[in-house]
Amino acid sequence: MKKVISMILVITLLTLTLAACGGNDDPDVKVLRVGMECAYAPYNWMQQTSANGAVPIYGSNEFAFGYDVMIAKYLADKIGYELEIHMIDWDSLPPAVITGAIDCVIAGMSITADRAEVVDFTLPYYYASIVVLVNADSEYANATGISGFSGARGTSQFNTVWYDICLPQIPGVNVQPPMDSAPAMLVALTSGACDIVVTDQPTALAAVSVYPQLKMLDFTGSADGFTVSAEEIDIGIAVQKGNKELLDALNDALRGLTIADFERMMSDAIKVQPIDVD
């Protein structure tokens, strides 16, 4: 992450440690404590029932589902652990795994060099290209490259490669303050508070599947597209530095999945995701 982790640690250490206490007390039962926002469809979201195979959120009466939960269920089963989902806000996820409050983060997190300084990452469990969302009736809806957004008011979610790396690449863009969540950035777009949102393809596909007034523009491979490296599009699972046993176990399990499996599971998640920007 680009922000300094130490300040967040001071604020969150006690609350996250307390939140992680309890759970299954049986020493013979291994529990995989997975952190995610539960507010980032189609990767993860919160719902009121166990429909579609949703998993209870630890310490609450709600349930979590989405692509990340599908992956977490698969991995926990493969390595012989019980799954426990912890709902944690985006900016507190790295500190949670660093301090051992959770075992791993499965939350649509890009494998960046900055993050890899403080956590270890598994192999990618998704490859997400960077795209732009606009309102279909916007003056920017027919842009043929990122230079077509000059003068547009643009935003995205804070502490993401979308906001920190990709959005500033747009020539002449009017960068707005970052949003604290993916739903919030969609609210900004649909309400007219901004003209464009930079995000990844799964998030954009989920949005347009529910809100036909939105349009996704993908310039991947174009000379007038975003310049991205693997760390901008490779999505991985974060574990505590030095936890080689868990890292190796997760990687071994991930090798049992193909890119086609990833795409199928993501498609299934998008079909049932409950994005709501009202």
Could you give the domains of the chain? 5-126+234-272 (3.40.190.10), 130-227 (3.40.190.10)
Which pLDDT value is given to residue 274?
A: 80
Which pLDDT value is given to residue 28?
A: 78
Distance, in Å, from the CA atom of 153 to the CA atom of 144, rounded to the nearest integer, reads 17
* pLDDT at residue 21 is higher than 60: no
Q: Which residue has the higher pLDDT, 2 or 115?
A: 115
Amino acid at 170: I
> Average pLDDT, stretch 251-255?
98
* pLDDT at residue 227 is higher than 90: yes
* pLDDT at residue 5 is higher than 50: no
3-state secondary structure 57-108: ECCCCCEEECHHHHHHHHHHHHHCCEEEEEECCHHHHHHHHHCCCCCEEEEE
Amino acid at 234: D
